[in-house]
Amino acid sequence: MRNLRDCRLYGIVDLGYVGIAEAERATEAMLEGDVDLVQLRAKKLSLDEIVDLAGKLHRITSAAGIPLIVNDYAEVAAKVPVEGVHLGQDDDSLSHARKKAGRDVLIGKSTHSLQQAIAAEREGADYVGFGPIFATPTKPDYQPVGLNGIKRVHHEVNVPTFFIGGIKIDNLGEVLAAGAKRVAIVSGLLNAPDIAKYARACKTLLQPET
């Protein structure tokens, strides 16, 4: 299974952009494009539906050695051998999520300020998502945080940080120039005519210098 610190490109299968019937195909395409980490985000499904879909996606991701993270519902990890759970600011505490999971899993947390990112690390998050960097329909209630604070986040937060929010291939260079090392991409990937090709292009830009 790919180590979290080696992950650069985080692909999110958001059912706000793809239907349930397309989720497996989208996941396979992301893996073909060398995405390092996959999240299932299914805000409108019931818990049973999420468990069922997570099981299907996990068969695909585990065969490729890629971790699967489930958004919001830690109890899914008690029923499906997913590798992790992702929490928002208004979700369970990390300790409560770990109890719900019933086993040792990766837990990430969404953060929207440097203070929240530092707090998430102190709380025990294995990684943080930081954003939205740009305006995004996925998080319409949040003001974009912009590029200026990226280097400071890396300086003050020691766990892997994935920058998220309106990031696409067209502005990825700006995000990396501002100091980012890892990104999560949602609509850019899912709306691409060729998800695998788009992911490969992003991954090429994200490759660390040798």
What is the set of active-site residues? 41, 110, 139
End-to-end CA distance of the chain: 23
CB 205 within 8 A of CB 176: yes
Annotate 56-66 with b (16+ C-beta within 10 A) or e (fewer). Answer: ebbebbeebeb
Enter the tokens of residue 23: 């989720």
- Taking the C-alpha atoms of residue 9 and residue 192, their distance in angstroms, rounded to an integer, is 16
CB 108 within 8 A of CB 127: yes
Give the count of alpha carbons within 13 A of 147, CB side only: 13
Closest CA to 70 of 111, 120, 14: 14
CB 30 within 8 A of CB 11: yes
Bridge pairing between strands 84-87 and 127-130:
unpaired
Give the count of alpha carbons within 13 A of 9, CB side only: 26
